[in-house]
Amino acid sequence: MHWIIESLYLFLVIVCFVYFFVLVQNSKTSWQILDLKEDELPFVSVIVPTLEEENNISKCLNSVTKLDYPNYEVLVVDGGSKDKTVEIAESYGVKVLVDANLPTGWIGKSYGCHIGYLEAKGDVILFTDADTKHAPESLKITVSHLLGSNVALFTMLPYLEAYRFYEFFPSYLYFLSFLCGGPREDVNNRYNKNSFMASGQYMLFTREGYEELGGHTSISSSLVEDVALAKLVKEKELGLSYTDGTNLVQTRMYPDGFGQYFRAFRRAIWGGIVTLTPWRIFFMILWLIYFILAPIFMIQSFFSNGPYFIWANYTIGIIVNTGLYLAYAATFYFYWYKKGDLKWYLALFFPITQIANFIVIGVAIYFGLRGKRVSWKGRYYSTQGTETLKKQQKKDLTDRKVPAVKKIDKSVD
């Protein structure tokens, strides 16, 4: 019986690494920069949705108001913060919109982005988070790439800064999202509809593309608005470009405590599960199983009464099982080391550091399957199917007159 289990384990590991190798080999980052003079660069609207962001907004606005870009505006859309977010934002001289109304069927961030769009004047629209910090040259590079690659959406994962122990936890969940999203070449292939990924911390749209999607109105109830928009872009074959591993934008996501991280990913994980491609989620599950088995098999090899079918003797059993454990740690480290802060020992002792993520994943699945609400900054969101929420939203659009996205008149040349 032991040799059957060990054979299955070895087969599992082989499948995991073959899949990972295919992802990496087809995930080369390429920038298609359109060489534009400054007077040829389009007007950009930078939209920052906020709610209780007094600890982050200064860092963000200090960077976006100093971008090396000739023609842009900054709009902060606040959802009714009771802290000093609005006061701080106004001190930067940017346009601040406050709308505490949240219609049924809307996620707060998506509604804030929608309200910002309605006021935006730009031919290009950037949605970015209050916890981001932008390099001066970032907007010029990303706009040139957006136009040069002829896509509706460019999005990138910011470099993740981490200082406290729990702030390293998201790196593992981003590793899992890489497994689910697919290789970059497939993600950036406008005709491959099974692979898509995005980061809501940096979503750069052409206005025409955003309006053709229906904007945030079209995904208003999604718990992961970024991935939902990316999926919609792929479905409509409008063109998506996604990248990571750059220092153009940085973020420190959850400086206020582990509870903040727990609530954020409890919401996002279930949203990802119901949005991403099922067969890619299957391979992610295989890596989760590998994560569980690697330390168990390594420990048992030291106390085994072998030999078994695979491990020819006690020493080889230890070497092979320890090697498979270290292979997991090395793979995780290899994926993340250019994308964010990560201590080598946190990768080496991944079972200890990632147990919290397993708890978050388990709770997210439980809440999702039971249809329970999830909370974020005092607001509660449903994990129900989107059809129920869209019916509620349709009524809101009528009763509360939530403005919809304006359509482009394509009959005009």
Task: Identify the residue with better confidence: 50 or 33.
Answer: 50
Q: What pLDDT does residue 413 have?
A: 33
Looking at per-residue confidence, does 84 or 378 come out higher?
84
Q: What is the reported pLDDT for 380?
A: 62
Rounded to an integer, the average pLDDT of 366-386 is: 70
pLDDT at 56 (0 to 100): 93
**DSSP characters for 317-382?**
HHHHHHHHHHHHHHHHHHHHTTTB---HHHHHTHHHHTHHHHHHHHHHHHHHHHT--EEETTEEE-
- Rounded Cα distance between 23 and 16, Å, is 11
Could you report the per-residue pLDDT of 237-247, keeping only the tens digit for each?
999 999 998 89
Provide the residue ranges of all domains of the chain, joining segments of one domain with +: 42-164+185-258
pLDDT tens digits for range 178-228? 999 989 999 999 999 999 999 999 999 999 999 999 999 999 988 899 999
Question: Helices 258-275 and 225-235, interaxial angle, to 10°?
Answer: 20
Is the pTM of the predicted complex or chain greater than 0.85? Answer: yes
> Which pLDDT score, from 0 to 100, does residue 376 have?
64
Beta strands 202-206 and 153-156, pairing class: antiparallel
Sheet containing 249-251, strands listed edge to edge, beginning at the edge strand earlier in sequence: 132-134, 249-251, 159-160
Mean pLDDT rounded to a whole number for the chain: 87
Q: What's the confidence (pLDDT) of residue 97? A: 96
pLDDT category, 305, cuts 50, 70, 90? low
Q: Determine the Cα–Cα distance for residues 150 and 154; give it in Å rounded to an integer.
A: 10
CB distance 230 to 153 below 8 Å: yes
Does the pLDDT at position 403 exceed 60? Answer: no
> pLDDT per residue over 317-375, tens digit each?
888 899 999 999 999 999 998 899 988 888 999 898 888 888 888 888 888 887 777 76
With 50 as the cut, is the pLDDT of residue 307 above it?
no
Between these two residues, 207 and 310, which has the higher pLDDT value?
A: 207
Question: Which two structure tokens, joined as six digits, stand for 66?
Answer: 């100093």
Fold classification of 42-164+185-258 (topology level): Spore Coat Polysaccharide Biosynthesis Protein SpsA; Chain A (3.90.550)
Q: What is the mean pLDDT of residues 63-77?
A: 97
pLDDT of 148 above 60: yes
